Structure 1
């Protein structure tokens, strides 16, 4: 069965540089000048008019010939700008400057090990690298290993003696009065950037996102937002909406939300360089932030921090989450603690579809749709989807199946990885690697990642389902949990469900032994026999998660297997 979006369709994507969408919109340019970015730590600010000029200056510094003081970069020659930095004001400057001259950029995690950074540089084939000062030492070491000359490494924001920065490059072309580089032409298939994604298996792969993918994504968001406003009208804003910009800019959610989407809005982004609960709460109070864009792990830490009960959060009008599964209990808790927000807006997306595929509409939108608890929402404008079984056939209504997606936001494929591209991008469709089910009316429900699904006695067992059951214990004994498969099944490849849990305050009062017994009894009462926790339960201090909120089940599984091996050795 083919599912189509319930939203009005998006206009055809033009063969243009996405710069035209961001900077040549008459309505946007008619707005009064305003503060676009604020650094929450340093207090540095930049106004929209200043930022527009700085982007053109950065484009000139990057693209002008060497003889004119620029770096002479060209996408046609194969240049790629690597960005290795935590969030800062000049991150979007570099991103949009690169787009202006159609030189692709590669977004590198700001928290890599040496092995990971070498892989990212080698895979992206970055020809120049812009680095946050705190990451320079690691960058120099990794660059030497991949053969990237140290004179091709620059500082993104701030400065280090003896090494040029983006500011230095801009100052050079301005001092020379180098003519501004024109906006270079692009088609909708022109490569815009490389975004690293784990895909469904293996080491991170570089997703190729095109100018047309970005254009489609931004316009799709504008259309969906306009439909929400029809049922939740707001007076014309007299000042910008203040947005918390704490999601990492090197991740697709943070990149689009804070480096691109603001160009088509009326917002002030308060940049928090890295996640810190106390810093975030102070920023919300100080800057009167109205919109929180978060991932579930951030929401989880906020509700269990004990800080929200004492803070003035009355400015918050809306919370939006994505990037990972949001347990319903966590969503309910944040709404109780921040009562000024009418709802938590949830969605689903992945790097391979640029940003989002599904979102929850406002209550009553599109002829009366009501968001359903525990759903991920409906397809965004102009998107199509199907749910399939392992044999490729389409599932019945209510039956879980792999989500396949089609639309103008689907990326070009994986950079220099033909085999992975063929496995994931098939005849215009994107295989998500995630299982969903639908009610047949357009609403989708996340089930689990295919690679996390366990097969026991031939039946599929969803770790997410077991996690939800544990979190629903009426005694509120745990604040977080993760379920994954561990060895011990009847065959070598059969894994047994095991749960790792973080005790709540109530759980700590009762004690770990009591909590584990109660949770085991609760799971046995509420789960079919083959779904029970035959791999055991274990108390941990925290559930390991990536900076973007995805649970790192593999870390827990590896710890379990290592402990098992140590026991066997001790017995011998």
Structure 2
């Protein structure tokens, strides 16, 4: 099935620095000053004019020669700057300062161990590293493994004795009256940053995002908002809408929500250092948060928190979910409490798409009414195909792998030509995710193509089984994961196994009775080849990475290791 976006075509991507997409061209009329960033824990504010000045002064300090007190950074010298920190408002400024001078950035997971960090530093060829002060010992150990000199470790926000910080560089420029650097001239294919894929299979790969990719997403978002405004017909807000950002800024979703926005269009972004369900829930009434991008694992924790029904969340008018599949039942629970938001906006994206490829349309847009469980339609500027395993195009409502192409598709994987050739084929990004499209070209997520099982020659979707388990009328679980394990008719065939987190009702019934009831439910509602032949297991929590993706492999590996130990006895 061949699909094209229903949205109007965005303007062509210009051959220009992405800084202008965020802050406007030099002659663009600037708004009156407003609060653009708030640090959630302290309440410290930064205005738009202060951010714009810090970006320019910080960029100047980063690019100035070492003899002038700067770092002498330039893309021509092969420099790559790594950022290793939890969220902070200086993260937003520094990302944009590096974009300003055209020096590529490596966005590093704040949860990395020294071993993982050393791998990421090596993969992305980092030459200078800015860190959260608390991470110094881990950074030193990783840099020693990688071979990066100790004097190339700097501080992003805060201070550490004997080390320059981003603020130090900007302050020095201001105090010396140094002439501000000009925006670096680059092309749309110039590397802007590296973001690491989630690494659910093998070590993470560094995805190359260009200045043109950032432009493409900003222009696409602009077109889609114009179309959605025709449906909502809401008057311009009297004050800048307040967003709450807890998504990690080293991840695709977070960095675009906080760092790659049209800052001259007034919005206030409250930045939480990291996910903490109590901190996030309490911040909503404290700052009267109106807009909140979410991920399914966060929604799960919120609806199961005692605070969820006790706090005033009525300021929320727009909520969205991305980064992973959102079960319809979980969306219903959330929206049943957050009634001030008209709908749960959903979408689908991955690092290789810069941000996203699919977005759920507002009710009535183009005459569409997307049901719960629908992922949406292709975003502006995007084209797609749903393809069978043999390479032919699938029909209406027939599952297949989603391929996409458009100006937001990444350049490839940094230093990994083999992986690039396998994933980016003849202009199409092979997503590895299975979707189906109905006759209205509404897209529905089916499963990760790599997670789909073949049982007795038939395809089995773990997601379908998970949704069936969640739909048990007695609500015996709060979370579930299904994956393939050994036990099939051949050595290579995998059979489905379920891992469960029991609800209060499930625990009251008892583990054995709850599993019995769920097993009976699955057998009643699903074909025999989809039954849980791999067994059931109750766990305290389903492991997920910081962006909310379920780490099926961790559960499978643990199970297989247990089987191997038993086989030795």
Question: Does the pair score TM above 0.5?
Answer: yes
Q: Distance in 1 between matches of 2:233 and 2:27?
A: 19
Q: Name the structure 1 match of 2:202.
A: 202
Q: Distance in 1 between matches of 2:481 and 2:114?
A: 28
SS at match of 1:187: coil
Q: How does 1:87-102 map to 2 (within 5 A)?
A: 87-102=87-102
Q: Distance in 1 between matches of 2:450 and 2:518?
A: 26
Q: Distance in 1 between matches of 2:89 and 2:27?
A: 24
Q: Per-residue deviation at 1:382?
A: 1.4
Q: Per-residue deviation at 1:32?
A: 2.1
Q: Distance in 2 between matches of 1:427 and 1:95?
A: 32
On the 8 A contact 1:69/1:178 being kept in 2, the answer is no
Q: Distance in 2 between matches of 1:23 and 1:343?
A: 30
Q: Distance in 2 between matches of 1:106 and 1:551?
A: 24
On the 8 A contact 1:434/1:448 being kept in 2, the answer is yes
Q: Distance in 1 between matches of 2:2 and 2:554?
A: 37
SS at match of 1:298: helix
SS at match of 1:470: helix
Q: Name the structure 2 match of 1:407.
A: 406
Q: Name the structure 2 match of 1:347.
A: 347
Q: Per-residue deviation at 1:200?
A: 7.8
Q: Name the structure 1 match of 2:451.
A: 452
Are 1:474 and 2:486 matched, yes or no? Answer: no
Q: Distance in 1 between matches of 2:6 and 2:67?
A: 54
> Greater shift after overlay, 81-90 or 254-263?
254-263
Q: How does 1:151-166 map to 2 (within 5 A)?
A: 151-166=151-166
Q: Name the structure 1 match of 2:322.
A: 322
Are 1:416 and 2:415 matched, yes or no? Answer: yes
Q: Per-residue deviation at 1:174?
A: 2.7
On the 8 A contact 2:248/2:546 being kept in 1, the answer is yes
Q: Distance in 2 between matches of 1:404 and 1:530?
A: 28
Are 1:484 and 2:483 matched, yes or no? Answer: yes
Q: Give CA deviations for 1:34-66 in whole Å, capped at 9, x if unaligned.
A: 111011112221000000000001101111122
On the 8 A contact 1:128/1:153 being kept in 2, the answer is yes
Q: How does 1:254-273 map to 2 (within 5 A)?
A: 254-261=254-261, 263=263, 265-273=265-273
TM-score, normalised by the number of residues in structure 2: 0.98
Q: Name the structure 2 match of 1:565.
A: 564
Q: How does 1:518-557 map to 2 (within 5 A)?
A: 518-557=517-556
C-alpha change, 1:380 and 1:318, in structure 2 (3 Å) is same
Q: Distance in 2 between matches of 1:21 and 1:504?
A: 47
C-alpha change, 1:507 and 1:200, in structure 2 (3 Å) is closer
Q: How does 1:115-514 map to 2 (within 5 A)?
A: 115-198=115-198, 201-261=201-261, 263=263, 265-366=265-366, 368-514=367-513
> Greater shift after overlay, 8-17 or 227-236?
227-236
Q: Give CA deviations for 1:178-232 in whole Å, capped at 9, x if unaligned.
A: 2211101011101100010147842111100000100010111111111111111
Structure 2: gaps spanning 5 or more residues = none
Q: Distance in 1 between matches of 2:394 and 2:235?
A: 44
SS at match of 1:263: coil
Q: Distance in 2 between matches of 1:528 and 1:235?
A: 51
Q: Per-residue deviation at 1:114?
A: 2.1
On the 8 A contact 1:69/1:176 being kept in 2, the answer is no
Q: Distance in 2 between matches of 1:158 and 1:25?
A: 31
Q: Distance in 2 between matches of 1:145 and 1:178?
A: 37
Q: Per-residue deviation at 1:28?
A: 7.6
TM-score, normalised by the number of residues in structure 1: 0.98
Structure 1: gaps spanning 5 or more residues = none
Are 1:35 and 2:35 matched, yes or no? Answer: yes
Q: Distance in 1 between matches of 2:17 and 2:439?
A: 38
SS at match of 1:460: strand
Q: Distance in 2 between matches of 1:458 and 1:16?
A: 51
C-alpha change, 1:321 and 1:121, in structure 2 (3 Å) is same
Q: Distance in 2 between matches of 1:370 and 1:26?
A: 41
SS at match of 1:261: coil
On the 8 A contact 1:200/1:433 being kept in 2, the answer is no
On the 8 A contact 2:127/2:148 being kept in 1, the answer is yes
On the 8 A contact 2:192/2:209 being kept in 1, the answer is yes
Q: Per-residue deviation at 1:339?
A: 1.1
Q: Give CA deviations for 1:241-285 in whole Å, capped at 9, x if unaligned.
A: 000110000000000011112525321111110111110111001
Q: Distance in 1 between matches of 2:564 and 2:519?
A: 25
Q: Give CA deviations for 1:84-136 in whole Å, capped at 9, x if unaligned.
A: 00000100111000000100000000001222111100001011000001111
Q: Per-residue deviation at 1:27?
A: 10
Q: Distance in 2 between matches of 1:167 and 1:7?
A: 42
> Greater shift after overlay, 3-12 or 172-181?
172-181
Q: Distance in 2 between matches of 1:239 and 1:363?
A: 26
Q: Distance in 2 between matches of 1:225 and 1:46?
A: 26
On the 8 A contact 2:6/2:380 being kept in 1, the answer is yes
Q: Distance in 1 between matches of 2:531 and 2:252?
A: 36
SS at match of 1:447: strand
> Greater shift after overlay, 503-512 or 413-422?
503-512
Q: Per-residue deviation at 1:29?
A: 4.3
Q: Name the structure 1 match of 2:22.
A: 22
